[in-house]
Amino acid sequence: MTDGYRGVIGAIHYAFTASSSLLFKLYVATSAAVVAIIGIFLSIALVVLIGNTAELRGGSVTLSRSFYVVIGLLLILPAVAPILAIARRHRRGISPSSRFEMILASVGFLFLSSIYLGIVASMPETFVLDGEMMQRPPPSGVLRPVITFLYMIPPSLSWSVPLGGAVAVGFTYWWYRWISVPLSRIPMHRCLNMSDTPHSATGSFLIVSADDSASVLRDVNSGQIYTVRHTCSLTESSVVTAEIESEPPLHSTYTITEITEERTIEIGRSEQPPTAASQSKAAEQSVGELTRTERAGRGEIHVITVPTTRTETAVADILDDTQSLRERAGRIGVSRVEIRAAGNTVSIRYMPWAVTQSYNKAYSVWLSSQLMAVFTVPEVDYTRYSNRQLAAVPIFILFISLSVIGGWYLMTGSPVIQGIAFTGGTEIQIAATGPQDAVETEIRQAFDAEPESIRSVPAQDVYIVTFQSDVGSVDAATLESQAEAAGLTVRSISSVSASFGTSTQALALGGLAVAFAGMSLLVFAMFRVFVPSIAVVISAFSDIMIAVAFMNIFRIELSLGTVAALLMIIGYSVDSDILLNNHILRRSGEFYSSTYRAMRTGITMTLTSIIAMSVMAVVATLFGIQLLASIGTVLVFGLLADLMNTYLLNLSLLRWYKFEGVSRWSRFARIGG
């Protein structure tokens, strides 16, 4: 394996020197120059924006500054992605073919071209340059049809052009990595076993034998045997969760590229008798019958009914087959196998290692228990409920939320209350003391136009007065003069034009739609199975709809801040749903034990976020920071909905897919074949 690199700049130099394709080398040099130019221009633009808005209040101004950074990342990441992909494969000793490098370079140049085409599409028909009104040049030359098509794209949608180029880069790498190469491997690997592309496998492996030169690994799920070289650190009879790759040229031996977990499986006979439940189960069975039940939390209990005179013989036979016991423990994800026997009952208990492993761990557990209350996620007995019962509550609440949103649209013409950032209007902060009712009456009498809303900030003795842009033709200067004429103290005043609010609304909602669509495509690309993927998408959609419905009920306006909160809800929802899907579909262990492991992590993270957002909303409300208060409140609604949708709706779909859907689709595939 060749030497590595450090950082993005190191990856660019590394990819340039390691590549064997002249076209890819040219792309590396070109994209590095383009990325440097984009970075310089965005840095200058951000400095100019900060200088021009240094004295303005936060809110939309802060989001505008962040928007520059986001745009920069969206332009730079797809440009350097092919370079990082090739550099990573060279560093791992997997030399990609020149054809693959040429294809990535071609789609990379396509993305760089899409940036320029997006700039052309964003050019308005008329614009001011150095104080003069200019018109965009008419289409001409060989590229006239292309330029004409770009001019037909609305400027507000010009970002879709480079987005298409970025999607092309990602799709090309995905197709080659997961579709094209695996298909091309089939005849070579299965017949001649002479492919230049290495095999790889990820999973839990039992170390059947180990010495300084080589080890024999057995996949605990498939039973496949692998010979692994250079594994002096492995321990025989242990189970490792690892990724292995074959070695060229024959690809008959493997090397371990990454080990995420290694555990020793302890097997022993316990002097304690089987539990009363196990003995009762054995009494109900016939001799030789075995019953498997899941333990609370993690693990399994196998109960075997044997003749009373052959109990010890049965125990000895079980202890002789240690490889099968360790493989089963590896599949379940436990580290301890305990055999109990009494009378006609033999109990095999697969359990996590509960004994403290070191003094440091024991001390840390004791110290944690002394310093803080231990939070334990309760284990839910999902076997008591059918899939329909689990999904009924989330679906009913989603229906109610959609009804609220639809009713609000019929009454107001908008599915949600829109703030002045989207409708246009003026916001005035007035300092006043005295009874709230009297102050609000005084404020209403001071203006000719009726205020849209008056909010008080008790901690600062400030009232925030909002006027919509459709209230007459009163501008900010007139409102300020009317307030001062009435003896009111104006702390600040800001206004947004109706046209600017409309364009901001289109941009924000378009970004929300693109984020949701991108999330959906990413989920389908990760799992490549319909039911688990659509479960994640439905849960995220329900989280957003429930949050929007609560915004209408509690009269929270849709602003740039709440749009950011909705985007964060998508991220939180996908995080918890993918965590659950990965534990159930991709990790070892039975369904309910995998579910409980995912719940312990997911519920802890979500409840922590709910507490943090609740505190932020309360504090921001007390200090009159309306933007943060709205963000925190919307996030609390969305996170509460996410708990329900993930562990009721998503779980019911996954359970149906795991126990019923797979077999049905397999029969359908056989019939179709």
Residue with the two structure tokens 């007390």: 622
Mean per-residue pLDDT, 414-426: 81
Q: In this structure, are residues 200 and 245 in contact, taking their beta carbons and an 8 Å threshold?
A: yes
Q: Which of 662, 673, 651, 652 is nearest to 529 (CA)?
A: 662
Secondary structure of residue 413 in the 3-state scheme:
coil
pTM of model > 0.85: no
CA–CA gap between residue 529 and residue 585 (Å, rounded): 11
CA–CA gap between residue 669 and residue 307 (Å, rounded): 45
CA–CA gap between residue 628 and residue 262 (Å, rounded): 44
* DSSP H/E element including 645: none
Q: Which amino acid is at 538?
A: I
What dihedral do alpha carbons 53, 54, 57, 61 form, nearest 10°? 40
> Is the N-terminal amide bond of 249 cis, ω within 30° of 0?
yes
Residue with the two structure tokens 């209990």: 301
CA atoms within 13 Å, Cβ hemisphere of 225: 5
Tokens of residue 337, six digits: 């196998």
Among 210-224, 378-392, 394-408, 563-577, the minimum mean pLDDT is found in: 210-224
Q: pLDDT band at residue 360, thresholds of 50, 70 and 90? A: very low
* DSSP H/E element including 465: strand 462-468
The per-residue pLDDT for range 199-227, each reduced to its tens digit, is 778 888 888 877 766 788 888 887 788 88
Pairwise pLDDT comparison (549 vs 143), residue with the higher score: 549
Q: pLDDT band at residue 6, thresholds of 50, 70 and 90? A: low
DSSP assignment of 481-493: HHHHHTT-EEEEE
Beta bridge partners of 256: 244
Region class of 137: left (phi > 0), else alpha (psi between -120 and 50), else beta = beta
Tokens of residue 58, six digits: 């936060």
The arrangement of strands across the sheet holding 462-468 comes to 453-457, 462-468, 425-431, 489-496
User: Quick one: how far is CA 540 from the chain centroid?
Assistant: 11
Q: pLDDT band at residue 2, thresholds of 50, 70 and 90? A: very low
Q: What is the DSSP letter of 434?
A: S
Q: Which of 441, 356, 405 is nearest to 548 (CA)?
A: 405
The per-residue pLDDT for range 316-353, each reduced to its tens digit, is 888 888 888 888 888 887 888 888 988 889 999 888 75
Q: pLDDT band at residue 92, thresholds of 50, 70 and 90? A: low
Could you give the C-alpha distances from 58 to 10, 64, 497, 517, in angstroms and in order?
Answer: 37, 10, 18, 29
The per-residue pLDDT for range 163-197, each reduced to its tens digit, is 888 888 888 877 776 554 444 444 434 443 444 55
Q: In this structure, are residues 91 and 1 in contact, taking their beta carbons and an 8 Å threshold?
A: yes
- Counting every residue, how long is the chain? 673
Secondary structure of residue 451 in the 3-state scheme:
coil
Q: In this structure, are residues 655 and 552 in contact, taking their beta carbons and an 8 Å threshold?
A: no
Pairwise pLDDT comparison (54 vs 554), residue with the higher score: 554
Q: In this structure, are residues 653 and 391 in contact, taking their beta carbons and an 8 Å threshold?
A: yes
DSSP assignment of 315-375: HHHHHH-HHHHHHHHHHHT-SEEEEEEETTEEEEEEE---S---HHHHHHHHHHHHHSPPP
